[in-house]
Chains A and B, each alone.
Chain A
Amino acid sequence: MEKEQFYYDNKIVKMFLWATILWGVVGMLVGLIVALLFVFPGLLEIAGADNAISWLSFGRLRPLHTNAVIFAFVGNGIFLGIYYSTQRLLKARMFNDVLSRIHFWGWQAIIVAAAITLPLGYTSSKEYAELEWPIDIAVVLIWVVFGINLIGTILKRRQRHIYVAIWFYIATLITIAVLYIFNNLEMPITAFKSYSVYSGVQDALIQWWYGHNAVAFFLTTPVLGLMYYFVPKVANRPVYSYRLSIIHFWTLIFLYIWAGPHHLLYTALPEWAQNLGTVFSIMLIFPSWGGMINGLLTLRGAWDKVRENPVLKFFVVAITGYGMATFEGPMLSFKNLNAIGHYTDWIVGHVHIGALAWNGFMVAGIVYWLAEKLWKTPLYSKKLANTHFWLGTLGILFYAIPLYIAGFMQAFMWKQFNPDGTLVYGNFLETVTQVLPMYMMRAIGGTLYLTGFILLAINVIKTAKVGSPVEDELAEAAPLKQISGKRIAGEGWHTWLERRTVLFTILTTVAILIGGLVEIVPLILVKSNIPTISSVKPYTPLELEGRDIYIREGCNNCHSQMIRPFRSEVERYGEYSKAGEFVYDFPFLWGSRRTGPDVHRIGGKYNDNWHFNHMLDPRSTSPGSIMPRYSWLIKNDLNASNIEDKMTGLVKLGVPYSSEEIAGAKDKLLAQAKEIEGNLRQDPEFVTNYGSSNIQNKEIVALIAYLQRLGTDIKAGNTAKK
Chain B
Amino acid sequence: MLKFIKHNLEGIDGVEIYPIISLLLFFLVFIAMLIFVFKLPKKNIDEISQLPLDNDTNIKEINHE
Contact = CB atoms under 8 A, between A and B. Distances in A.
A163 B51 contact: yes
Contacts of B50: 238
Interface string A272-296: 0100110010000000000000000
Contacts of B49: 232, 238-239, 242
B10 A265 contact: yes
Interface residues of B, number: 49
Nearest to A87: B55
Contacts of B4: 562, 564-565, 576-577
Contact of A254 (B30, B41, B51): B30
A526 interface: yes
Contacts of A577: 4
B49 to A, nearest CB: 4
Contacts of A530: 8
Contacts of B37: 243, 246-247, 494
A250 interface: yes
Interface string B1-31: 1111111111110011011111101110110
Interface stretch (A322-330, A455-463, A512-520): A512-520
B1 A262 contact: no
Contacts of B36: 492-494
Nearest to B44: A495
A526 B12 CA distance: 7
Given A473-B62, A474-B65, A526-B12, A338 B3 contact: yes
A666 interface: no
A138 to B, nearest CB: 30
What's the interface size class on A, roughly?
35 or more
Interface string B46-57: 111111110100
Contacts of B52: 85, 88-89, 163, 165, 228-230, 232-233, 238-239
Contacts of B47: 161
Contacts, number: 185
Contacts of B27: 276, 280
A88 B53 CA distance: 10
B20 A205 contact: no
B22 to A, nearest CB: 5
Contact of B40 (A470, A494, A522, A565): A494
A475 B56 CA distance: 9
A269 interface: yes
A163 B18 CA distance: 33
A509 interface: no
Given A238-B50, A338-B3, A261 B18 contact: yes
A268 B55 contact: no
Nearest to B5: A201
Contacts of A693: none
A609 to B, nearest CB: 33
Contacts of B2: 204-205, 208, 264
Given A201-B5, A473-B62, A88 B30 contact: no
A163 B51 CA distance: 7
A246 B16 contact: no
Q: Which are the 7 A-B pairs with shortest beta-carbon distances?
A: A238-B49, A261-B19, A242-B49, A268-B10, A163-B51, A88-B55, A261-B22
